Amino acid sequence: MTIAVIFTSRRTPDHDEEYAAMAARMDQLVREQPGFISITSVRDPLTRQGVTVGYFVDEEAVRAWREHPEHAEAQRQGIADFYEEYHVTVASVSREYGSHA
């Protein structure tokens, strides 16, 4: 069963360059993880609210990503420097459909 990790956050107005570099590195790193399927991320530049949704093949893949040493360090730095607030939801995907252009 596919697992979705939904990360919502509001960025601080500080550390924009460091955040951009860290976000780019995490995007690259997650794509290399066993069990990774896809990721989508958006952020409103005015409110600084963002949503990132990552999809993984199972809970084991999600756990491995959460505990990856470089990702764990990024999480610590995010709490300390990048986010005013954040929330993580992990959900099982029971249905998925759509169209492709």
Query: Average pLDDT, whole number, for the chain?
Result: 96
Global pTM?
A: 0.91
For residue 62, which of 87, 89, 86, 24 has the smallest C-alpha distance? 89
The C-alpha atoms of residue 18 and residue 29 are separated, in whole angstroms, by: 16
- Lookup: tokens for 98: 């759509």
Domain spans in the chain, listed from the N-terminal domain onward: 3-92
- pLDDT at position 90 is 98
Q: Give the per-residue pLDDT at 1.
A: 84
One CATH from 3.40.50.720, 3.30.70.100, 3.20.20.70, 3.40.50.1100 for 3-92 = 3.30.70.100
DSSP state of 80: I
pLDDT of 100 reads 81
Query: What pLDDT sits at residue 73?
Result: 97
pLDDT at 101: 76
Using 70 as the pLDDT threshold, list the residues of the chain that sit under it: none
Exposure string for 40-71, b = 16+ CB within 10 A, e = fewer = eeeeeeeeeebebbbbbeeeebbebbeebeeb
Number of other residues whose CB lies within 10 A of the CB of residue 2: 14
